[in-house]
């Protein structure tokens, strides 16, 4: 078991060995989730998004609609 200390600013140091194992570097964004009496900290990287892809219903319909809308916006910007 590894321990760390919470600073007065609420910061916690993730030990070097764990950061290396999880491929976390300076600037890596993290997702913090409260699970009952636990905190879960996960790196927000490509692997994170691959793991959560498809958890919502709709089979990508929302993504397709957003991409279609974005293409329309880009077309309007190019015409200006």
Q: Each residue's pLDDT tens digit in the chain (80 positions)?
A: 889 999 999 999 999 999 999 888 898 888 899 999 999 998 887 676 666 666 666 666 777 777 788 888 777 666 65
> Exposure pattern of 11-38 as b/e (b: 16+ CB <10 Å)?
eeeeeeeeeeebebeeeeeeeeeeeeee
Question: pTM score, two decimals?
Answer: 0.53
């Amino acid at each position: 078991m590894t321990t760390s200390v919470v600073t007065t600013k609420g910061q916690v140091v993730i030990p070097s060995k764990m950061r290396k194992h999880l491929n976390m570097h300076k600037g890596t964004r993290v997702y913090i989730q409260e699970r009952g009496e636990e905190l879960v900290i996960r790196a927000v990287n490509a692997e994170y998004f691959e793991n959560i892809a498809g958890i919502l219903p709709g089979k990508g319909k929302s993504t397709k609609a957003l991409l279609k809308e974005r293409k329309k916006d880009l077309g309007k910007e190019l015409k200006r």
